[in-house]
Amino acid sequence: MKRYILTGTPGCGKTSIIRALEMTGASVVAEAATDIIAYKQMQGELAPWEKPDFIDDIIRLQKHRQIDMCCDYSDLHFYDRSPICTYALSVYLGFEPSTNLMNEIERIHKNNIYETRVFFVENLGFTTHTDARKISFEESLRFEQVHLDAYNKFDYECAVVPAVPIMERVEIILRKL
């Protein structure tokens, strides 16, 4: 089973690419942070990312989803972000990486959960705000660099997916497998 990570700055098109990859028959796993934000906001917490337990909530959901995919018999899996992205988010938000986060990173390395080639989706030159995405384009570029640094720190190779139409991005990813 091959598990590939898609990462990049918020609003770069990862989720659209993931959906297009799903249409090719690949198994996909949605981004956890967006779902945690939506869940917390439904409970009246407007900015859940401001609380340190936000990181552990993401890690729990990512791990749960990754383990659930072990029962999927598809040979090809794509993940919209990973625990390394959660590490980058923790650094970006100014939180000390939690014990749960570091334990999960240790687990994914020890068990070779993900392929070491990560697909790094280039930004589109702008960012559109959503309920979960309040970051400016300028801040997203800083966040993008934090992601690159995190993946490099944990010895992943980032294969750049340029800012071209979605189906071209999908073709680039499939060629680089």
- Interacting residues of 60 by C-beta distance below 8 A, sequence separation 6+: 100
Check residue 10 and give its pLDDT.
Answer: 85
If one counts every other C-beta atom within 10 angstroms of the C-beta of residue 31, the result is 24
Secondary structure element (H or E) that encloses residue 84, with its range = helix 83-93
Does the pTM surpass 0.85? The reply is yes
Using the predicted structure, report yes or no on whether residue 5 has a pLDDT greater than 90: yes
In the chain, what is the straight-line distance between the N-terminal and C-terminal CA atoms, in Å?
13
Give the model confidence (pLDDT) of 132-148 as tens digits.
Answer: 667 888 888 999 999 99
Quick one: which of 167, 155, 128 has its CA closest to 9? 128
If one counts every other C-beta atom within 10 angstroms of the C-beta of residue 142, the result is 12
Give the model confidence (pLDDT) of 23-44 as tens digits.
Answer: 998 999 989 998 999 999 999 9
Check residue 69 and give its pLDDT.
Answer: 75
DSSP secondary structure of 125-166: S-----SS----HHHHHHHHHHHHHHHHHTT-EEEEE-SS-H
- Domains delineated in the chain: 2-175 (3.40.50.300)
